[in-house]
Structure 1
Amino acid sequence: MTTRDPLIPDERVDALRIATPPGWEAVALADLHATMSDHAHAEKKAALAGLSLLNAEPERDDLVARMAKLAREEIRHLDQVLGHMRARGWSLRPDRADRFARALIAERRGGRGEAALCDRLLVAALIEARSWERLNLLGMALAEAGEDELAAFYVELARSEAGHYRVFVDLAASECPGEDVAARLGELAEVEAAVIAALPHEPRIH
């Protein structure tokens, strides 16, 4: 029996209600250039989202420190993805609207209070959780296709996404003590499951 690394959540990353429906890996591999371009843009957006949170909540010292670290990591990942693309002679394709993220963001409560911050953190957590699952699936599919170097890169990168998921959940608990974080995460996870089940498979991370 294999012992799971305690730093990595379970295969559904705790909060996720459903796995990606079968077939996404084949679509992602069929146009790997598009998938990797989308992944690069996802890393860019994750870095910007972390910096936006830092900018919006400058008085929250722990949040500021964690978002600065997260943004650095996401920028490094962006650079690494672009490096793998350059090695294949591929340029970055234009960014496309992310229907998955847009649907989750639409569920966030507005305003400037704890409720709004809680939702912002938990939506970010769910996006990271799904990223972990998708990057892990892509890494395993690449390994089966004999793309050992790229497979190892994606499997390792998935570990980081799992860690980011936990950072956002922990921040919601510590920064929003008036909120029932577990209950709200469950509510948003139900929405996430419905969105991921409804979206067609495309050569992109979300």
Structure 2
Amino acid sequence: MGKLIENYYLEPTKVKWLLSRTNDQWLKMAIANPIEVLVDHAHCERKAAGAAVQLMFRYLCEPGLAEVLSPLVREELEHFERVLNLLISRGEYLKPLPAPPYGALLAKAIRKDEPYRMLDSFLISGLIEARSHERMSLLAMHSPDPELSCLYSDLLESEARHFGIYWQLASERFNKETILLRIKDLAKIESGILAELHPEPRMHS
């Protein structure tokens, strides 16, 4: 397990396409409030499943989409159940939490017209998975709670794979230059949103 140090940027937490790294203030706050982060994490898994279902219904007739997203939805719900069961085992429960504006602000960047709406939806979902991967890697390395460290370590592979799924969905439908130009724009927006947010014990704040 990693030790919390002043400059953990020397450790392997950089994730491709993210233009900024999570700061020490967020990490210290998350470690100091593990239950609140767990509750928020459960909500994030639930929302990730819901977002994928929404894409399946919006693009119901898109060849190959449902076949890829349906297993992803199941896996997100399995993660939700794992986090929920961990909360219950600690005498805690799922409760409403004020959501940081991260997701809502990112959603505003989605263009309204097709096919750009589809592309932006895939890429933003991928960026959220990438940010989740980065933050879970930090918690896996630095959490003083072995059970939580194990949880976050176990979820890293799937978070990275989920980014890859959304990237694949985009790559099968749009040319590489279009994708690269757009993800760079969206990554700037994502980084700017986090720079303006006051850190809270949330997965995305």
CA–CA distance in structure 1, aligned partners of residues 182 and 52 of structure 2: 21
Structure 1 residues 21, 178: closer, same or farther in 2, change over 3 A?
closer
* Correspondence 1:49 to 2:58: no
Percent pairwise identity: 34
For structure 1, which runs of at least 5 residues remain unmatched after alignment? 1-9
CA–CA distance in structure 2, aligned partners of residues 27 and 168 of structure 1: 30
Task: Give the superposition deviation at 1:153.
Answer: 1.3
Structure 1 residues 14, 199: closer, same or farther in 2, change over 3 A?
same
CA offsets, 1:147-183, max 9 Å, x none?
A: 2222111111122111111111121111234970011
For structure 2, which runs of at least 5 residues remain unmatched after alignment? 1-11
**TM-score, normalising length from structure 1?**
0.89
Structure 1 residue aligned with 2:189, among 186, 191, 197?
Answer: 191
Structure 1 residue aligned with 2:152, among 131, 148, 154?
Answer: 154
CA–CA distance in structure 2, aligned partners of residues 158 and 202 of structure 1: 21
Map 1:161-172 onto structure 2 (within 5 A): 161-172=159-170
Map 1:92-103 onto structure 2 (within 5 A): 92-103=94-105
Contact 1:34-1:93 at 8 Å conserved across structures: no
CA–CA distance in structure 1, aligned partners of residues 151 and 39 of structure 2: 15
Contact 1:11-1:133 at 8 Å conserved across structures: yes
Task: Give the superposition deviation at 1:61.
Answer: 2.9
CA offsets, 1:53-75, max 9 Å, x none?
A: 00111122322111101100000
CA–CA distance in structure 2, aligned partners of residues 31 and 20 of structure 1: 17
Aligned residues between the structures: 193
CA–CA distance in structure 2, aligned partners of residues 77 and 121 of structure 1: 20
The alignment's C-alpha RMSD in Å is: 1.5
Structure 1 residues 98, 23: closer, same or farther in 2, change over 3 A?
closer
**TM-score, normalising length from structure 2?**
0.89
CA–CA distance in structure 1, aligned partners of residues 134 and 62 of structure 2: 30
CA–CA distance in structure 2, aligned partners of residues 35 and 155 of structure 1: 15
CA–CA distance in structure 2, aligned partners of residues 179 and 115 of structure 1: 14
CA–CA distance in structure 1, aligned partners of residues 50 and 72 of structure 2: 10
CA–CA distance in structure 2, aligned partners of residues 152 and 103 of structure 1: 31
Contact 2:18-2:191 at 8 Å conserved across structures: yes
Give the residue type in structure 2 aligned to 1:166.
G
CA–CA distance in structure 2, aligned partners of residues 11 and 178 of structure 1: 26
Contact 2:13-2:137 at 8 Å conserved across structures: no
